[in-house]
């Protein structure tokens, strides 16, 4: 399979898809069932933001293949649990081959859990805090070609700056934009992709 000039790939099942998952079954399933679907659960948003931070310098498929390992190592990405991790837990995770063993990113996940708790306690919660940057509903970019898809935006820059101020790390504008795409804050499926309209419909009238 090869992408056309717009970046679309026609798969053997007859569905046109964005170019980036290629033909890897795991990646295609992620593209079809998760990427671009609006996520309004605060815990799930924490998990995805942390995993996107671990992705920095790597490909998303590398993280996706280890996601079960990450979930086990970080106790289901329950922020209340991760926030209690100690230096002993950091050393334990540094020895865990099921995840990406990066000390700064591991410490960032713990720090992020504590920041998440602070945001939740202050109200109205982590999900509304993030979704307010796009007025509570997905941004529909309606990109017809790969070249029209941004790697960062004014919104991702503002969100990244706000997250950093709250205590999160690995939240630069490019990472944050990738996060926004993944959790459906931005619908960046190409307009010719079979998931574009479906994700647009999922976001109609939704608000955390």
pLDDT tens sequence for the chain (208 residues): 788 889 999 999 999 999 999 999 999 999 999 999 999 999 999 999 999 999 999 999 999 999 999 999 999 999 999 999 999 999 999 999 999 999 999 999 999 999 999 999 999 999 999 999 999 999 999 999 999 999 999 999 999 999 999 999 999 999 999 999 999 999 999 999 999 999 999 987 656 5
Predicted local distance difference test score (pLDDT) of residue 74: 98
Predicted local distance difference test score (pLDDT) of residue 205: 63
What Rg do the C-alpha atoms of the chain give, in angstroms? 17
**Residues β-bridged to residue 16:** 10
Tell me the C-alpha to C-alpha distance, in Å, between residue 130 and each of 71, 75, 80, 101, 163. Answer: 22, 23, 19, 28, 9
Give me the helices (H) in 35-86, please. Answer: 42-55, 60-64, 67-73, 79-82
Predicted local distance difference test score (pLDDT) of residue 1: 75
Give the Cα separation of 56 and 65 in Å (integer). 15
pTM of the model: 0.95
Give the Cα separation of 12 and 145 in Å (integer). 21
Question: Tokens 């996520």 correspond to what residue?
Answer: 39
Give the Cα separation of 123 and 129 in Å (integer). 9
Q: Kindly report the CA angle at 204 between 63 and 123, in degrees rounded to 5? A: 70
User: What DSSP state is assigned to residue 139?
Assistant: E
Predicted local distance difference test score (pLDDT) of residue 81: 98
Predicted local distance difference test score (pLDDT) of residue 203: 80
**Cβ-based neighbour number of residue 101 at 10 Å:** 12
């Amino acid at each position: 399979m090869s992408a056309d000039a717009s970046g679309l790939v026609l798969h053997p099942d007859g569905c046109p898809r964005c170019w980036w998952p290629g033909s890897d079954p795991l990646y295609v399933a992620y593209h079809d069932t998760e990427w671009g679907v609006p996520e309004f659960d605060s815990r799930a948003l924490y998990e995805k933001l942390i995993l996107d931070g671990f992705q920095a310098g790597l490909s998303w498929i590398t993280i996706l293949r280890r996601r079960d390992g990450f979930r086990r190592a970080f106790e289901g990405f329950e922020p209340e649990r991760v926030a209690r991790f100690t230096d002993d837990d950091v050393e334990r995770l540094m020895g865990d081959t099921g995840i990406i063993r990066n000390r700064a990113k591991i410490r960032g996940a713990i720090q992020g859990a504590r920041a998440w708790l602070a945001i939740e306690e202050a109200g109205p919660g982590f999900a509304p805090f993030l979704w307010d940057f796009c007025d509570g509903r997905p941004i529909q970019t309606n990109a017809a070609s790969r070249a029209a898809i941004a790697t960062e935006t004014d919104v991702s820059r503002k969100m990244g700056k706000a997250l950093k101020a709250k205590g999160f790390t690995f939240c630069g504008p490019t990472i944050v934009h990738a996060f926004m795409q993944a959790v459906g804050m931005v619908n960046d499926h190409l307009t010719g992709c079979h998931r574009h309209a479906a994700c647009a419909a999922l976001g109609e009238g939704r608000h955390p």
